Amino acid sequence: MDLVSLLRARRLLAIVRGRRAEAALDTVRTLADEGVTLIEVSLTSHRALDVITRAREELGVQVLLGVGTVVTAQDARDAHAAGAQFAVTPGLGDGVEQARSLGMSTLVGALTPSEVIAAQAAGADAVKLFPASATGGPGYLRTLRAPFPQVPFVPVGGVDTRTGRSYLNGGATAIGVGSPLIGDAADGGDLSLLRERARAYLRLAEEPGR
- Per-residue pLDDT of 135-174, as tens digits, reads 878 999 999 999 999 999 999 999 999 999 999 999 999 9
Q: Is the pLDDT of residue 1 over 80?
A: no
pTM greater than 0.85:
yes
Q: 152 lies in which domain range?
A: 3-206
Q: Indicate the angle between helix axes 21-34 and 191-206, nearest 10 degrees.
A: 40
Q: Is the pLDDT of residue 207 over 70?
A: yes
Q: Distance (Å, rounded) from C-alpha 88 to C-alpha 82?
A: 14
Q: In whole angstroms, how far apart are CA 197 and each of 5, 20, 24, 34, 86?
A: 24, 20, 16, 10, 24
The reported pLDDT for the residue numbered 62 is 86
The reported pLDDT for the residue numbered 208 is 76
pLDDT confidence of 209, banded at 50, 70, 90?
A: low
**Catalytic residue at 128?**
yes
Q: Is the pLDDT of residue 36 over 80?
A: yes
Q: Which SS3 state, helix, strand or coil, does residue 181 take?
A: helix
Given the residues 22, 40, 57, 196, select the one marked as catalytic. 40
What residues form DSSP beta bridges with 68?
A: 42
Given the residues 128, 196, 206, 207, select the one marked as catalytic. 128
Q: What is the mean pLDDT of residues 82-103?
A: 97
The reported pLDDT for the residue numbered 204 is 97
The tally of domains found in the chain comes to: 1
The CATH number of whichever domain residue 18 belongs to comes to 3.20.20.70
The reported pLDDT for the residue numbered 61 is 85
The 10s digit of each residue's pLDDT in 42-90 is 999 999 999 999 999 999 888 999 999 999 999 999 999 999 999 999 9
**Catalytic residue at 40?**
yes
Per the prediction, the chain carries an average pLDDT of 96
The reported pLDDT for the residue numbered 180 is 97
